[in-house]
Every structure is written in structure tokens, then in C-alpha cells.
């Protein structure tokens, strides 16, 4: 009889033989089994798949991204009872969602670890059906965050190391910030999207190492710039675009310090009407000026995509910082991602990741997993596996090694069973009711996500109606009716901060844009005092949507530079109104 080690070696031999076959491929055209569009797998892609010991994908890059984003509910919050302590808490799960949920305090306690509902693997049942059964038994956390790292912070999601913050989403290492998304190392910022290492900024999009800036986009190392776009090293500018190292400019025209200070008072920027008037003027001015073919900086080497910074050999990626040898990746807000494909969310010294969502903080060699951190290693097909190593097919498991379907095994038992399951997945793939084939090498199927399509990031990038989403097998949860008594309407709020009532934090405000209600937190109020700005007439969600819509989407188009005529790959499609230059022409004119 073969020993356990002998059986394991046989499985490894079979698996490695399959990988050698993959290495024989050349560039290949495939048809996406989801959208039915053709896509290309390049030779370098096969090298990565061989390194990761995975087959090539059957979904196109866009469909792979959307499938991962189905696991990301960033800001659809509900009140629901904790299934442990019974207290009402704010969480991500709709009242009609049957998923079990603990409040963050109970979920992170040490009195359970997830092995309580561990399952034996049944080779007669497809692996993904067993994983769905485990997901239905498991206990989800109310809000997704590195809860032990939060200090005096409420209603934050997909976040870590937040101090004195409120409703910060996709955020890391921030202090005294509120209503922000995709931020890193900020202080005293309010209503910002995509801000890094900035301070005292308000209503900004895409800022880096900036201070005292408001209503601006794509700034780097700027101070006191208002309604500015694509400026670097500028100080005290209003309504400007494409400036470098300038001071006291208004709509790209130079003024003396005294003239500037006199003119700025005429804009009445501490009033709602003054803001709206200058916003329209600025955006009309910005659109007349050339745009660089993509947003990035001079520290990039051999990159393609949009919003790529300090990165090297990184292709077809979106909103990434400090990535190296990565492709098809998005939302890598912390530097240090290396050798990753199809990776959405985080970064932070993580490497050898494939088809992962929110897997970071020292993660290594993980595949087909979501919400596995920190220091997750050698994890596959797992969802919310915290501080785990060598786990396969686990859901809501904490601080474990050598587990399959949340059941503990010895080291040898684990590797033998893991290889058997992989072989079974290849020989007998699972086919869902919509005809998608799930063999080893596919990301987690949508059936495992506990969220409605309309609650997820996927809906932001691929908008579907309820009937369209349900026809594709996605969940859908209707908005919850308001149960609060409205005390003031957004459009009735004062247009100057000094006219704001003292009890504003007690008011239930009806959003002037949608049907939702909101209130003003103490942190927001403190920051509005410093900015001398009136309370916003819209809820946090509508304010974010407005900023989100000012950001290019993760798609590239072929067109020509509008100055020299060369072919460029850019997020600006031909039917958009912007004037688009290639990188060389843009630098010759503005840098």
C-alpha cells in the first residue's frame, strides 16, 4: 500500500504534467464564456499562469473584474441584529438577507474560529456546491475591516488603521477624516475620493501630498488650490488646469499676491451659491485644455492603464500605486503589490496573487479568494479567511492552517486531500444553472457572494436593471424604506456655515438628490468649521457618486493623439469631448 507521501507525490506529478502542457501555448484567442466576446491571452500571460500553476482563464478581463467586484459591498449599510449578542448594529446585510451576521465586536472575539461548522469533503458532490453550503452555514462580520486596528472610528468598511474617523471606505492609515473613499495616510479630510498623504482637503478627487485644497482633481504636491485640475507643485491657484509650480493664478492667468487675495473674496466660496457658480465655470474651462493620454506620474516605468502611479511593468491596471509586474489589477491603494494578475483591492507588500479581491497586508501565493488578510499565505477558494495559511475552500475562518471546508487536518492529510479536490474539480467541473463552467482555475462563483448585485462595486462599473441582474443569477435587494422622521430637507439647509443651526448633528436631513436621509457627524461638523463651508445638501452616497462620475472607468480605447496623430491607448474614447495628447506631446507643452 502506498504511503500518504507517495499518494501526494502522484497527485503532484499529475498536476505538474498539466502545467507543462500549458507552457506549450503561444498567443491565443479565446471566447469569454460569460459575455461571449473574444479576448487574447499573450505569451507573458501564460508565463504567469505557469508560475502560479493555474490554467488560463475562460472569462475575459472585464468579466473577471466584475465577478470579483460582486464580493464588494462598500457602502450599502443596514440596521440588523447581531446573531450573537442580539444588539442592533450597522452592517452590510439587507434585512431580507438570510446570511448569519455578528457585530464586529462579537465576530472578532476568540470564543469561536469557524471550525465549529466545518464539513467533510464529499467527492460525489461538486466542490462548489459544498462551498456554497459552507457559506450558508458560516457567520459574516457586520462591517469588513481590520477591526482591532480601528480607534474611535464608526461605520468604516474595507478599512484598516483608522483613528477618529467616520464613514471612511476603502481606507488605510487615516486620521480624523469623514465620508471618504479609497484613501491612504490622510488627515483632516472630508468628502474626498482617491486621496493619498494629504491634509485638510475637501471635495477633492485624485490628490497626492496636497494641503488645504478644495473642489479639485488630480493634484500632486499642491497647497491651497481651489477648483484646479491636473496641477503639480502649485500654491494659491483657482480654476487652473495643467499648471506646474505656479502661484497666484486664476484660470491660468498670473496675478500678484494682493490682486489674488482681493479677487478670491469676490467668489464667495464660503457660500453654496458661490461654490456652484465657480464649479460650472471651472469645469467649462477645464474641458478646453488638453488631457494626458492617461493619469500617472513620472515614476512609472513601462505601464498601461489609468491612474497608475510609481509602478513598473504593470499593464492594463486601474487605480494602482507602487505595483510591479502586475496586470489586470485595480484598487491597489498601498504600495508593494508584485507579481499579481486579476487582483482587486489593497496591495501592501503582497505578491503572487491571482484572481483575488481584498487580499493584502503581506499576502503571499493566494488564488481565487476574497477578504483574506493579514499575512494570508497559500490560500485558495476561500472567503474571509483571517490570518490563515494553507487553507482551501474555507469561509469565515480565523487564524487557522491546514483546513479544508473549515475542517482541521494534519499537514500531510491537508495536501493529499487538496490535490484530490483539485483533480476532482478538473475532471468533474461544476456547471451552474446559467451554463457557466466552473473548473479549477475559476474565481469564486457569484452564488457565494452574500450581496445583491445592486449593492456591490460591480453595479458601479456594469449597471444592470433588476431583471437583467436576476436573469444572470445575481441577487438583488430593494432599498429599505426610511423609518426616520425627517426634520429638515437638504434644499432648506443654510447656504453659509455661520447660519447653520447649533443642533445640526441632531437633525434628520432628507437628501436633495435622492430619497435617503442622513445626518451630520461631529467629525464632519468639526471639519466644516475649519473649512468654513456650509453643510452639504446631499447624502454621503450621492456626494460620492458625483465624485465617482468624475473618474475615468477601467477601460482603454484606441485613438490618435490630437497633436501629433500617433496611435494611443487611453481611457478617453473617441466620442468623448476631451482634447487628448500622447504622453510626449503633453509633457512638451505642460511639463
Grouping H, G, I as helix, E, B as strand and the rest as coil, residue 257 is: helix
C-alpha cell at 121: 469533503
Q: Shortest CA distance to 141 belongs to which of 440, 415, 396?
A: 396
- CA atoms lying within 13 Å on the CB side of residue 431: 5
Mean pLDDT across 20-27: 60
Find cell 504600495 and name the residue. 335
Q: What is the DSSP code (8-state) at residue 197? A: S
Other CB atoms within 10 Å distance of the CB of residue 264:
17
Q: What is the pLDDT of residue 197?
A: 98
The 3-state DSSP class for residue 385 equals strand
The pLDDT, as a whole number, for residue 14 is: 42
Please check whether residue 390 is in contact with residue 372, taking contact to mean a CB–CB distance below 8 angstroms: no
In which residue are the cell numbers 464580493 written? 71
On the question of pLDDT at 161 being above 60, the answer is: yes
User: Which pLDDT score, from 0 to 100, does residue 26 have?
Assistant: 86
3-state secondary structure (DSSP) of residue 91: strand
Determine whether 276 is exposed, middle or buried from the number of CB atoms within 10 Å of its CB (0-12, 13-18, 19+).
exposed
Residue 114 grid cell? 469557524
- Alpha-carbon span 466 to 474, nearest angstrom: 9
Instruction: Say how far apart CA 583 and CA 331 lie, in whole Å.
Output: 23
Are 227 and 241 in contact by the 8 Å Cβ rule? The answer is no
Is 60 exceeded by the pLDDT of residue 277? Answer: yes
242: left (phi over 0), alpha (psi -120 to 50) or beta: left
**In the prediction, which pLDDT does 25 show?**
67
Residue 24 pLDDT level (bands cut at 50, 70, 90)? low
The contacts of residue 254 (CB under 8 Å, 6+ apart) are 246, 248
- The stretch 578-589 carries a mean pLDDT of 96
**C-alpha–C-alpha distance, residues 138 and 143, integer Å:** 15
Distance, in Å, from the CA atom of 578 to the CA atom of 395, rounded to the nearest integer, reads 46
The residue assigned the cell 505601464 is 303
258, containing H or E segment: helix 257-266
Taking the alpha carbons at both ends of the chain, their separation in whole angstroms is 72
Cis status of the peptide bond prior to 53, with omega within 30 of 0: no
DSSP code string of 262-323: HHHHHT-TTBHHHHHHHHHHHHHHHTTS-EESS-B-TT-EEEEEEEEES-EEEEEEEEEES-
CA distance 202 to 269: 13
Q: Is the pLDDT of residue 23 over 70?
A: no
Q: Each residue of 375-398: pLDDT tens digit?
A: 999 999 999 999 999 999 999 999
Q: How far is CA 276 from CA 230, 267, 334, in A?
A: 20, 10, 34
Out of 56-60, 222-226, 430-434, pick the least confident: 430-434
How many Å apart are CA 79 and CA 460, to the nearest integer?
23
Q: How far is CA 416 from the centre of its chain?
A: 35
Residue 115: how many other CB atoms lie within 10 Å: 14
How high is the mean pLDDT of the chain?
94
In order of 206, 243, 556, the CA distances from 235 in angstroms are 17, 10, 33
Instruction: Indicate if the pLDDT at residue 152 is higher than 80.
Output: yes
Q: For 107-130, how does the pLDDT look when each residue is reduced to its tens digit (9 = 90+)? A: 999 999 999 999 999 999 999 999
Strands (E) located in 2-61: 28-31, 38-41
Q: 103 by DSSP, 3-state: which?
A: coil
Return d(Cα 288, Cα 268) in angstroms, integer: 25
The answer to whether 408 and 400 have CB atoms below 8 angstroms apart is yes
Give per-residue burial for 536-575: e unless 16+ CB within 10 Å, then b.
Answer: bbbbbbbbbeebbeebbebebeebebbbeeeebebbbeee
Q: Please say if the pLDDT value at position 551 is more than 60.
A: yes
pLDDT band, very low/low/confident/very high, at 238 (cuts 50, 70, 90): very high
The domain locations on the chain are 212-292, 488-537, 557-590
> What mean pLDDT do residues 254-271 have?
96
Examine the pLDDT at 19 and tell me if it is beyond 80.
no
Question: Distance between CA 19 and CA 51 in Å, rounded?
Answer: 9
Would the pLDDT of 319 be above 80? yes
User: Maximum Cα–Cα distance for the chain, whole Å?
Assistant: 91
Amino acid at each position: 500500500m502506498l504511503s500518504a507521501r507517495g499518494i501526494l507525490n502522484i497527485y503532484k506529478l499529475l498536476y505538474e504534467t498539466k502545467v507543462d502542457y500549458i507552457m506549450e501555448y503561444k498567443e491565443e484567442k479565446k471566447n469569454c464564456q460569460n459575455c461571449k466576446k473574444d479576448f487574447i491571452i499573450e505569451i507573458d500571460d501564460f508565463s504567469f499562469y505557469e508560475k502560479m500553476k493555474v490554467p488560463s482563464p475562460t472569462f475575459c478581463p472585464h468579466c473577471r473584474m466584475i465577478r470579483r467586484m460582486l464580493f464588494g459591498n462598500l457602502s450599502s449599510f443596514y440596521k440588523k441584529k447581531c446573531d450573537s449578542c442580539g444588539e442592533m448594529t450597522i452592517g452590510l446585510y439587507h434585512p431580507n438577507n438570510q446570511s448569519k451576521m455578528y457585530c464586529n465586536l462579537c465576530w472578532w472575539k476568540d470564543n469561536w474560529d469557524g471550525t465549529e461548522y466545518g464539513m467533510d469533503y464529499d467527492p460525489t458532490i461538486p466542490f462548489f456546491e459544498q462551498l456554497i453550503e459552507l457559506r450558508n452555514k458560516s457567520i459574516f462580520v457586520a462591517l469588513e475591516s481590520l477591526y482591532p486596528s480601528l480607534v474611535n472610528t464608526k461605520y468604516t468598511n474595507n478599512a484598516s488603521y483608522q483613528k477618529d474617523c467616520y464613514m471612511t471606505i476603502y481606507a488605510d492609515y487615516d486620521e480624523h477624516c469623514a465620508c471618504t473613499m479609497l484613501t491612504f495616510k490622510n488627515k483632516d479630510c472630508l468628502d474626498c475620493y482617491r486621496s493619498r498623504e494629504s491634509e485638510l482637503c475637501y471635495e477633492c478627487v485624485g490628490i497626492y501630498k496636497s494641503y488645504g485644497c478644495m473642489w479639485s482633481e488630480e493634484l500632486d504636491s499642491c497647497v491651497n488650490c481651489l477648483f484646479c485640475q491636473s496641477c503639480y507643485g502649485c500654491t494659491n491657484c483657482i480654476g487652473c488646469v495643467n499648471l506646474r509650480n505656479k502661484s497666484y493664478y486664476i484660470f491660468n492667468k498670473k496675478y500678484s499676491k494682493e490682486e489674488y487675495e482681493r479677487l478670491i473674496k469676490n467668489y464667495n466660496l464660503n457660500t453654496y451659491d458661490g461654490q456652484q457658480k465657480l464649479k460650472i465655470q471651472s469645469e467649462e474651462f477645464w474641458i478646453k485644455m488638453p488631457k494626458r493620454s492617461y493619469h500617472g506620474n513620472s515614476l512609472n516605468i513601462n505601464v498601461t492603464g489609468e491612474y497608475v502611479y510609481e509602478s513598473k511593468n504593470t499593464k492594463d491596471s486601474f487605480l494602482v500605486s507602487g505595483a510591479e509586474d502586475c496586470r489586470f489589477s485595480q484598487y491597489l491603494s498601498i504600495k508593494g503589490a508584485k507579481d499579481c494578475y486579476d487582483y482587486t483591492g489593497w496591495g501592501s507588500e503582497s505578491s503572487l496573487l491571482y484572481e483575488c479581491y481584498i487580499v493584502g497586508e503581506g499576502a503571499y501565493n493566494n488564488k481565487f479568494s476574497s477578504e483574506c488578510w493579514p499575512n494570508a499565505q497559500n490560500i485558495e477558494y476561500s472567503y474571509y479567511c483571517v490570518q490563515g495559511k494553507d487553507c482551501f475552500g474555507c469561509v469565515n475562518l480565523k487564524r487557522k492552517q491546514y483546513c479544508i471546508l473549515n475542517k482541521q487536518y494534519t499537514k500531510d492529510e491537508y495536501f493529499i486531500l487538496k490535490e484530490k479536490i483539485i483533480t476532482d474539480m478538473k475532471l468533474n467541473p461544476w456547471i451552474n444553472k446559467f451554463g457557466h463552467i466552473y473548473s479549477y482555475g475559476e474565481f469564486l462563483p457569484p452564488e457565494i457572494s452574500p450581496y445583491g448585485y445592486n449593492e456591490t462595486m460591480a453595479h458601479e462599473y456594469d449597471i444592470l436593471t433588476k431583471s437583467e441582474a436576476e436573469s444572470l443569477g445575481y441577487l438583488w435587494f430593494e432599498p429599505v424604506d426610511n423609518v426616520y422622521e425627517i426634520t429638515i430637507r437638504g434644499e432648506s439647509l443654510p447656504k453659509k456655515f455661520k447660519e447653520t443651526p447649533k443642533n445640526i448633528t441632531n437633525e434628520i436631513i432628507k437628501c436633495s438628490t435622492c430619497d435617503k436621509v442622513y445626518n451630520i457627524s461631529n467629525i464632519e461638523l468639526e471639519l466644516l468649521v475649519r473649512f468654513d463651508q456650509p453643510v452639504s445638501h446631499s447624502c454621503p452616497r450621492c456626494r460620492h457618486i458625483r465624485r465617482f462620475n468624475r473618474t475615468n472607468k477601467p477601460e482603454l480605447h484606441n485613438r490618435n493623439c490630437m497633436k501629433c496623430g500617433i496611435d494611443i491607448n487611453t481611457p478617453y474614447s473617441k466620442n468623448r469631448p476631451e482634447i487628448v495628447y500622447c504622453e510626449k506631446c503633453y509633457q512638451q507643452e505642460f511639463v
